[in-house]
Chain A
Amino acid sequence: MSALLEVRELRASYGATRVLHGLDFNLAEGGVTTLLGGNGAGKTTTLRALCGMVARSGEISIGGRSIARLPTEEIARLGVAHVPDGRGTFVRLTVEENLELGAISRRDRPAIATDKERVFGYFPILRQRRGQQAGTLSGGEQQMLAIGRALMLRPRLMLLDEPSFGLAPRIVRELFDILAALNSKEGVSLLLVEQNAALALDLADHAYLLETGRIVFSGPAAEIREDEKIRRSYLGY
């Protein structure tokens, strides 16, 4: 498999504070890669740096095309759907408008309507709530909406920032089943950031372990899952 996302020497800072100290990682086309690590390891910042939401340097390319100097909106238009920390819901707009915004950069209107139905197929609750203000949804529903909105872009790559955060275990299970289906059936590559390492390693085929802005370990997800030393010292389970 060729690499869809290639990252070399990625550094990022908030003001004068350097948070990422030169990350190198790849994501295979059609693969699921997870970034693991504790609080403050730089997981969220990595996703934000990929999308140009923080000051960054280094080389980032998607399908061979460099995106390191593109602004956020142009990166999204290349098919990179970021489901951000905090879900990025447009709380005052309706559920349906939120979904339509996901496809705002697309021109193919008939296909957009089909995709909306497809999202409603994955998340039937969103169909019921389509006319409702998105801010009135529960946390789990908002996470579904965020993933649905990302799907509306027909992304090549989805960046997911803690999709399990704050959700009941049953909802989390449901959500991860859908993510697995998106990956296997629709060929969407996923870059997943999670606190819940066990969950992430189940879904992912490759994992990177971050500690204070550096990659300290990487390997196939199955290997990390079996490595008791890493599990104990870094993943806490």
Chain B
Amino acid sequence: MELLLQQIIAGLATGTIYACIALAIVMTYQAIGHLNFAQGEMAMFSTFIAWQLLQWGTPYWAAFVLTIALSFLGGVLIDRIVLRPVQHAPVLSHVVVFIGLLAILNSLAGFIWDFNVKPFPTPFGSAPLFGNGLISAHQAGMIGVTLLLLAFLYAFFRFTRIGLAMRAAAADPASARLVGVRVGWMMALGWGMASAIGAIAGMMIAPVVFLEPNMMLGILLYGFAGAVLGGLSSPAGAVFGGLAVGVVENLAGTFVPVIGGELKFTIALVVIVAVLVMKPQGLFGRPVLQRV
């Protein structure tokens, strides 16, 4: 029982990271209608920036905030410089751009910071939070940071005018333009926010998986699984999906002997395929209706 509870909590903790990545994917998907395959590498790159700032002696939370700001800016720039020229291009062009971005960021990180695995500090400490060792301080910190992030995002989209404009631009770009919403900038803003969310996820998970250019590949896959499970049209669903994938992955890895540590990775793929076959719009998504 103790083990079960512990594994569920551990699953929730890593699940928050999948939830963040899933959320970033959904935000981009809502804005441009495509999956950003480079979302994970963007997060990885952000984490390296944080590491570099820490190496230069920046205090942790200052580096944390600075990294978020730089990642936001980076996301905006990627949208403006890389995506804007191809905005009317066919889907495959987008896919190629995203894969190119993935490869570029991956090798650029390796080029600048090399491919050696680096430890990344946690601001929360790695000791158990309570005496019984049910949850570590870092796991609790991950959950706490994610909850704060979600509360902030909810308030931003629900209560601010710019959040409303972003929702309008995503829901119906043509009508949004007619009321004077600068749709292009709203998309850039969405990219910046997705990039910043990824940065937070990267900095939170790096102490667990360690820092190296390929650290986010697996996490991105889990993030996709979470996003698909919750429904690509539902931010709240993406968060739920990310958490669910985290828990399922952990429980299956612990309690199903065949799966163990090695096959855990497969679970993400199984989830993606199963959801797409049985409920393509995800648990909370809306079916896509197209007028023909």
Chain A complexes with chain B: yes
A residues with CB within 8 A of B: 51, 53, 71-74, 76-77, 81-82, 84, 88-93, 97, 100-102, 104-105, 149, 153
Number of interface residues of B (CB under 8 A): 17
Q: Is the CB of B178 within 8 A of A93?
A: no
The answer to whether residues A153 and B171 also contact, given A100-B164, A101-B164 and a CB cut-off of 8 A, is: no
Q: Is B137 an interface residue (CB 8 A)?
A: no
Q: Is the CB of B161 within 8 A of A104?
A: yes
| Among B168, B172, B174, B178, residue most surrounded by chain A Cβ atoms (within 10 Å) | B178
User: Which secondary structure dominates chain B's binding surface?
Assistant: helix
- Report how far A89 CA is from B167 CA in the complex, Å: 13
Q: Is the CB of B175 within 8 A of A88?
A: yes
The answer to whether residues A93 and B175 also contact, given A73-B183, A104-B180, A105-B180 and a CB cut-off of 8 A, is: no
User: Taking the nearest CB of chain A, how far is it from the CB of B173, in angstroms?
Assistant: 10
User: Taking the nearest CB of chain B, how far is it from the CB of A96, in angstroms?
Assistant: 10
User: Which residues of chain A have C-beta atoms less than 8 A from B181's C-beta?
Assistant: 73, 101, 104-105
User: Taking the nearest CB of chain B, how far is it from the CB of A52, in angstroms?
Assistant: 9
- Report how far A74 CA is from B179 CA in the complex, Å: 9
Q: Is B259 an interface residue (CB 8 A)?
A: no
Some 18 contacts from A to B, beta carbons below 8 A apart, are A53-B174, A53-B177, A71-B177, A73-B180, A74-B180, A76-B177, A76-B180, A81-B179, A84-B175, A84-B178, A88-B174, A88-B175, A88-B178, A90-B171, A104-B161, A104-B168, A105-B180, A105-B181
User: Which residues of chain A have C-beta atoms less than 8 A from B179's C-beta?
Assistant: 76, 81, 101-102, 104-105, 149, 153
- Report how far A153 CA is from B177 CA in the complex, Å: 13
Chain B, Cβ-Cβ closest to A84: B178
- Report how far A160 CA is from B175 CA in the complex, Å: 14
User: Taking the nearest CB of chain B, how far is it from the CB of A92, in angstroms?
Assistant: 6
Q: Is the CB of A92 within 8 A of B171?
A: yes
For A90, give its contact among B161, B168, B177, B182 (CB under 8 Å).
B168
Q: Is the CB of A88 within 8 A of B172?
A: yes
Beyond the given pairs A53-B174, A82-B178, A84-B174, 4 more chain A to chain B contacts, judged by CB atoms under 8 angstroms and listed by A's residue number, are A74-B180, A76-B179, A105-B179, A149-B179
User: Which residues of chain B have C-beta atoms less than 8 A from A74's C-beta?
Assistant: 180
Q: Is the CB of A89 within 8 A of B175?
A: yes
- Report how far A53 CA is from B177 CA in the complex, Å: 9
Q: Is B70 an interface residue (CB 8 A)?
A: no
- Report how far A235 CA is from B243 CA in the complex, Å: 62
User: Taking the nearest CB of chain B, how far is it from the CB of A104, in angstroms?
Assistant: 5
User: Which residues of chain A have C-beta atoms less than 8 A from B183's C-beta?
Assistant: 73
A-B contact count (CB 8 A): 64
Q: Is B252 an interface residue (CB 8 A)?
A: no
Q: Is B209 an interface residue (CB 8 A)?
A: no
User: Taking the nearest CB of chain A, how far is it from the CB of B154, in angstroms?
Assistant: 15
What 1/0 mask marks residues of chain B from 48 to 63 whose CB sits below 8 Å from any chain A CB?
Answer: 0000000000000000
Q: Is B145 an interface residue (CB 8 A)?
A: no
Q: Is B35 an interface residue (CB 8 A)?
A: no
Q: Is the CB of A153 within 8 A of B180?
A: yes
User: Which residues of chain B have C-beta atoms less than 8 A from A88's C-beta?
Assistant: 172, 174-175, 178
User: Which residues of chain A have C-beta atoms less than 8 A from B171's C-beta?
Assistant: 90-93
- Report how far A95 CA is from B69 CA in the complex, Å: 34
- Report how far A82 CA is from B180 CA in the complex, Å: 10
- Report how far A81 CA is from B175 CA in the complex, Å: 11
User: Which residues of chain A have C-beta atoms less than 8 A from B73's C-beta?
Assistant: none
Q: Is the CB of B177 within 8 A of A73?
A: yes
User: Taking the nearest CB of chain B, how far is it from the CB of A25, in angstroms?
Assistant: 21
User: Which residues of chain B have C-beta atoms less than 8 A from A91's C-beta?
Assistant: 171
| Among A71, A72, A105, residue most surrounded by chain B Cβ atoms (within 10 Å) | A72
User: Which residues of chain A have C-beta atoms less than 8 A from B165's C-beta?
Assistant: 101, 104
| Among B167, B175, B179, B183, residue most surrounded by chain A Cβ atoms (within 10 Å) | B179
- Report how far A73 CA is from B181 CA in the complex, Å: 6
User: Taking the nearest CB of chain A, how far is it from the CB of B96, in angstroms?
Assistant: 25
User: Which residues of chain A have C-beta atoms less than 8 A from B32's C-beta?
Assistant: none
Q: Is the CB of B176 within 8 A of A101?
A: yes
Chain A, Cβ-Cβ closest to B161: A104
- Report how far A77 CA is from B183 CA in the complex, Å: 13
For A100, give its contact among B161, B174, B177, B178 (CB under 8 Å).
B161
User: Taking the nearest CB of chain A, how far is it from the CB of B284, in angstroms?
Assistant: 14
User: Which residues of chain A have C-beta atoms less than 8 A from B178's C-beta?
Assistant: 51, 72-73, 76, 81-82, 84, 88
- Report how far A93 CA is from B177 CA in the complex, Å: 16
In chain B, residues 172-219, which have Cβ atoms closer than 8 Å to a Cβ of chain A?
A: 172, 174-183
Chain B, Cβ-Cβ closest to A103: B179
User: Which residues of chain A have C-beta atoms less than 8 A from B177's C-beta?
Assistant: 53, 71-73, 76
User: Which residues of chain A have C-beta atoms less than 8 A from B175's C-beta?
Assistant: 84, 88-90
| Among A74, A88, A104, residue most surrounded by chain B Cβ atoms (within 10 Å) | A104
Q: Is the CB of B174 within 8 A of A101?
A: no
